[in-house]
Chain A
Amino acid sequence: MTNRVATTPGLFPLPDWAKETLSDLKGHQKGDLLSGDEGPEIVSTYADVRAELIDDQLEAGLDRVVEGQPRWDDMIAHPLTVADGVETGGIVRYYDNNNFYRDPRVVSEPTASGDVAAELSSAAEHVPDDVGLQAVLPGPYSLSELATNETDADAEAFRETIAEFLAAEVDALGAHETLFLLEPSLVEQPPADGVDAQASAAIDRVASATDADVVVHTYWGAIPEKPYAHLLDADIDAVGIDLVAGDRDDSVYNVQEYGAPDSVALGVVDGQNTLVEEPETIADRVEWFEDQLPVGDFETTYVTSNTELFYLPENKYQAKLNALAAGVEVLS
């Protein structure tokens, strides 16, 4: 019997009041964005936001709760933009979206800051014992693709450096039930021959730094076959698959052809559209996927939005959380 877990890949929109308050406190320009040393007023505003984002998830009834990453001005590049050894460059496009982040220019070996660990432990204070806390980090392949390598290291060594950096960040995390590693670049800029094995090794390095279940979550389409096959060599508990954007049949083919870890994460709610899915639609999508596979039951199916949720206005992000929890309710 598969355990269905309602969750998200994090990175929520700020509540509307905080959009205004924080932009007044911080400013609008590139240099005003977060660098990890914000003053007490900003810290306390983010604490209020964090409490609110966790309340949103508890009220919706999600099974795993994330911190919500309200401080991640640079989306999943955030852990690097607050690390030593990194300078912030120009504003660059965030994948194929009309969103932008500051290019983290890595000039020397980055040092883990513990910034994400601090966020997670602050979040833990708001999460009751019977609800699982979930950590979220970028995967090493995506983070190395989003960053600019200005060190002496070649691309392979740079990926290893980023994996070591992330492993140290994971090592600093307090107790967490699951770790989502976001790896959209496996789809958007898939690794070439040879690099695919390195990407898998880098993911394995980060995953091995925690005892929690590790979900490597991908979105915007299917991972190409070879990188998918290599990904399965990493010691991970689940691969996250986007069933909303791109061709879901390719993802099904991957799993049929190459298998999957014992668990799976299914992106069944569209993180980039305000149309809110009916709980029955969500349940249908999960069952559709599970029915395609000849294998026995998955241990756990994480039922999630395909992408981060910051693309949405506040009211629709909340509605999506409710929909996810209600979808899992239908399945049980």
Chain B
Amino acid sequence: MVRVPDANRDQFRPESHPNDHFLLTTVVGSYPKPKWLNRADDLVEDPDSKFDADDLAEAHDDACRLITHEHERAGLDTVVDGEMRRNEMVEFFAHRIPGYEFNGPVKVWGHNYFDKPSVVEPVEYDEPWLVDEFEFTSDVAERPVKVPITGPYTLGFWAFNEAYETTEDLVYDLADLVNEEVEALVEAGAQYIQIDEPALATTPEDHAIVHEALDRITAGIDDDVRIGLHVCYGDYSRIYPELNDFPIDEFDVELCNGDYEQVEVFTDPEFEPDLALGVVDAHTAEVESVAEIKRNIKQGLRIVPPEKLTISPDCGLKLLPREIAYGKTENMVTAAREVEAELDAGAIDLENPLADE
């Protein structure tokens, strides 16, 4: 069953918010790294360099500070550190979870590789994975911080399973670990958690496994904590309306990329969690105009009323040039504020939000 999104949404509304309506603006997570950070990553591997692990940690701190502030400058209501400390979404966590080992890169396509880990023993929770980075970002940020975590379905199915009878069993053990991590993050003050499950986009028939995993992740997590789920571009009709029963506050979709052709999927039956709608494309290197983004936002109003609509990019922006990522984020916030003002003025027909377009 869906959680209670209206019990936790208002805490993200800034005191200085200019409009009566509030479209919560956020990001999926990843953001382009500053070029010097990539150089720092290389330098620490160079045995001839004096640049060491402490220097790299400092560089990561600097980059997190920079991108968190960049998000705030763009006007976002909730911010992320751009995942500056993370290399890849499975590897990062597999390095922190006892039970995984690494054997080397495997092919994804062409000459693109992924250091796909193997689960060789039952997975365990050791040290917290993200609490330090949350505390750092939270200290730096003036706005609330959202924490993206790779979900157990993806952590399980994007690894080799040597240790469990079925990968489903592995996913449930991982879900229990994610639950421990979410508890630790909440203890440290986190109020907005996003579970990323890109693997579900490719095997939507496994939605019941993801549901069971989410039940475990959210067990004992209070209603004032906002739990989102992000699933990248795919055939959403294969997981809808089933996702209405997921224990989440918000479902984050990538629809801009497909020009909103799948909006209809979510209109019948009624969409139950809050909708975090992708309104800028993460795969095109042109900044959408404010006018275009406003039209995209109104696509979301075809699915949910304004009080259930969150505004976000389609996906992580890390593959874009940094100035493009910034431009998209800034225009996205501007567009959201303008749509709010139009809503305040009663200028948008909620029965037919795109009537004037």
Residue-wise, chain A 295-327 has the 8 Å CB interface mask toward B (1 for contact) of 000000000000000111111100000000000
* A19 & B105 in contact (Cβ 8 Å cutoff): yes
Find chain A residues with CB under 8 A from B202 CB.
93, 96, 98
Contact B160 A310 (CB under 8 A): no
Contact B110 A274, beta carbon cutoff 8 Å: no
In the assembled complex, A158 has its CB within 8 A of some CB on chain B? no
Contacting residue for B108 out of A26, A30, A99, A313, CB 8 A: A99
A5 sits at the interface (CB 8 A): no
Cβ–Cβ < 8 Å partners of A315 in chain B:
103-104
A111 to B199, CA, bound (A): 38
Beta-carbon contacts under 8 Å, B77-112 to A: 103-112
Answer yes or no: A189 CB below 8 A from chain B CBs. Answer: no
B203 within 8 A of A: yes
A275–B161 alpha-carbon span in the complex (Å): 8
Evaluate contact between B162 and A26: CB separation under 8 angstroms.
no
> Are A33 and B118 in contact, with the CB atoms below 8 A?
no
Across the interface, do A316 and B103 meet the contact criterion of CB distance under 8 Å? yes
A101 and B109 contact, CB distance less than 8 A: yes
A32 is an interface residue with CB less than 8 A from chain B: yes
Please tell me if B136 contacts chain A, counting CB pairs below 8 Å.
no
- A208–B103 CA distance with the chains assembled, in angstroms: 42
Chain A: residues with Cβ within 8 Å of the partner, total of: 33
Are A99 and B109 also in contact (CB < 8 A) when A273-B162, A275-B162 are? yes
Q: Is B111 touching A23 in the complex (CB atoms < 8 A)? A: yes
Interface centre among B158, B160, B161 (most CB of A within 10 A): B160
A91 within 8 A of B: yes
> Judging by beta carbons under 8 Å apart, are A313 and B104 in contact?
yes
Interface flag for A22 (CB, 8 Å): yes
List residues of B (141-176) whose CB comes within 8 Å of A's CBs.
158, 160-162
Contact between B111 and A312, CB atoms less than 8 A apart: no
The answer to the question of A100 belonging to the interface, with a C-beta cut-off of 8 Å to chain B, is: yes
The answer to whether B113 has its CB under 8 Å from any CB of chain A is yes
Q: Please indicate the chain B residues that have their CB under 8 angstroms from the CB of A61 in the complex.
A: none
Asked whether B116 is an interface residue with its Cβ less than 8 Å from the other chain, the reply is yes
Contact between chains at B103 and A19 (CB < 8 Å) = no
Q: Is the CB of B108 within 8 A of A98?
A: yes
Would A312 and B161 be within 8 Å (CB), given that A23-B111, A93-B202 are in contact? no
Which of chain A's residues have a CB closer than 8 A to the CB of B160? 272-275
Q: Are B112 and A16 in contact (CB under 8 A)?
A: no
Chain A facing B: main interface SS: loop
Is A13 an interface residue when CB atoms closer than 8 A count as contact?
yes
Q: With A98-B202, A274-B160 in contact, is A313–B103 under 8 Å at CB?
A: yes
Per DSSP, chain B at the interface is mixed
Given known A99-B107, A313-B106, A314-B104, contact A19–B113 (CB-CB < 8 A)? yes
A28 in contact with B112 given A274-B162, A313-B103 (CB within 8 Å): yes
- Is A250's CB within 8 Å of the partner chain B? no
- Tell me the bound Cα distance from A14 to B107 in angstroms: 9
Most buried by A among B110, B112, B158, B161: B110
Judge if A278 is at the interface, Cβ distance under 8 Å: no
B113 / chain A contacts, CB cutoff of 8 Å: 19
CA distance A225 to B225 in the complex (A): 52
Picked from A23, A94, A98, the residue with its CB within 8 Å of the CB of B158 is A98
Please tell me if A73 contacts chain B, counting CB pairs below 8 Å.
yes
For A19, the chain B residues whose CB sits under 8 A away are 105, 111, 113
B-contact bits for A99-133, CB 8 A (1 contact / 0 none):
11100000000000000000000000000000000
CB distance from A317 to the nearest CB of B (A): 9
Residue from the set B104, B108, B161, B199 with the largest chain A CB neighbour count within 10 Å = B104
CA distance A98 to B232 in the complex (A): 14
Whether the Cβ atoms of A16 and B105 lie closer than 8 Å is yes
Taking CB atoms, residues of chain A closer than 8 Å to B118 are 274-275
Nearest CB in chain A to that of B118: its residue? A274
B156 to chain A, nearest CB (A): 13
Q: Which residues of A contact B107 (CB under 8 A)?
A: 13-14, 99, 310-311
Which single residue of chain A is at the shortest CB-CB distance from B111? A23
Which parts of A1-34 form the interface with B (CB within 8 Å)?
13-14, 16, 19, 22-23, 26-30, 32-33
CB distance from A123 to the nearest CB of B (A): 20
A22 & B103 in contact (Cβ 8 Å cutoff): no
Residue numbers in A under 8 Å from B161 (CB-CB): 273
Q: Are A91 and B106 in contact (CB under 8 A)?
A: no
Give the shortest distance, in Å, between A331 (CB) and chain B (any CB): 24
- Given the complex, which residues of B lie within 8 Å of A273, measured CB to CB? 160-162
Alpha-carbon distance A141/B108, docked complex (angstroms):
24
Q: Which of B106, B111, B113, B160 has the most CB of A within 10 A?
A: B111
Assembled-state Cα–Cα distance A33/B107 (Å):
13
Q: In the complex, A315 Cα to B161 Cα: how many Å?
A: 16
Q: How far is the CA of A94 from the CA of B107 in the complex (A)?
A: 12
Docked CA distance A5–B188 (Å):
60
In the complex with contacts A19-B111, A98-B108, A100-B109, A313-B116 CB distance below 8 A: yes
Using CB atoms, name the residue of chain A closest to B110: A33
Task: Given A23-B111, A30-B110, A93-B202, decide whether A16 and B104 contact each other with a Cβ distance below 8 A.
Answer: yes
Q: Which B residue's beta carbon lies closest to that of A319?
A: B103
Taking CB atoms, residues of chain B closer than 8 Å to A312 are 106
CA distance A26 to B202 in the complex (A): 28
Minimum CB–CB distance from B167 to chain A (whole Å) comes to: 10
Bound complex: CA of A99 vs CA of B104, how far in Å?
A: 16
Contacts of B108 in A (CB 8 A): 98-100
> Which residues of chain B come closer than 8 Å to A26, judged between CB atoms?
111
Query: How far, in Å, is A29 (CB) from chain B's closest CB?
Result: 8
Please report the C-alpha to C-alpha distance between residue A32 and residue B162 in the assembled complex, in whole angstroms.
35
Q: Contacting A311 at CB < 8 Å: which of B106, B110, B158?
A: B106
8 contacts across the A-B interface (CB closer than 8 A): A28-B111, A29-B110, A73-B109, A100-B108, A274-B160, A275-B118, A310-B106, A312-B106
Query: Told that A98-B199, A273-B162 touch, could you supply 12 new A-B pairs with CB distance under 8 A?
Result: A13-B107, A22-B111, A28-B110, A28-B111, A94-B109, A96-B202, A98-B108, A100-B108, A273-B161, A274-B103, A275-B162, A313-B105
Task: In the A-B complex, list the 4 residue pairs whose CB atoms are closest, starting with the nearest.
Answer: A23-B111, A313-B104, A100-B109, A275-B162
